[in-house]
Amino acid sequence: EPEVTQTPSHQVTQMGQEVILRCVPISNHLYFYWYRQILGQKVEFLVSFYNNEISEKSEIFDDQFSVERPDGSNFTLKIRSTKLEDSAMYFCASSEPGTSGKTDTQYFGPGTRLTVL
């Protein structure tokens, strides 16, 4: 069964460093998302992406964050200058367009644990 994959599974970085989290969405999906979950807290929406542009972003997704689909298979989240509070699990999700008035379903990857020291 197709699934969303994410690399790395765990990333440790120093405060102020740039990190890139990578995702490979399900191959025929066209909509892509990033969510994050700080330890012990709720899963929070960061950004959605379609047709090579951001569809929607949350207040969390400030200028330090960017997303890109560099090729036909990868979807990346970049944090330019990491802060301690960026430590969290980051989940990528993808969905395909719903057909005949039916809704799409978002499928989530296993996540990348980001630890900022």
Least distance between another protein and beta carbon 50 (Å):
7
Q: Report d(CA 104, CA 112) in Å as an integer.
A: 24
What percent of the chain is helix, strand and coil (3-state, nearest 5)?
Answer: 5, 50, 50
The DSSP symbol for 88 reads E
Nearer to another protein, 44 or 66 (CB): 44
Classified as helix, coil or strand, 86 is helix
Nearer to another protein, 20 or 31 (CB): 31
Nearer to another protein, 16 or 47 (CB): 47
Nearer to another protein, 39 or 84 (CB): 39
Least distance between another protein and beta carbon 111 (Å):
5
Least distance between another protein and beta carbon 32 (Å):
10
- Name the residues that contact another protein, by CB under 8 A: 4, 31, 33, 35, 37, 39, 42-45, 48, 50, 55-56, 58, 89, 91, 93, 95, 97-98, 103-111, 113
Least distance between another protein and beta carbon 30 (Å):
9
* Residue 2: Cβ-neighbour burial (10 angstroms; 0-12, 13-18, 19+): exposed
Q: Report d(CA 85, CA 97) in Å as an integer.
A: 34
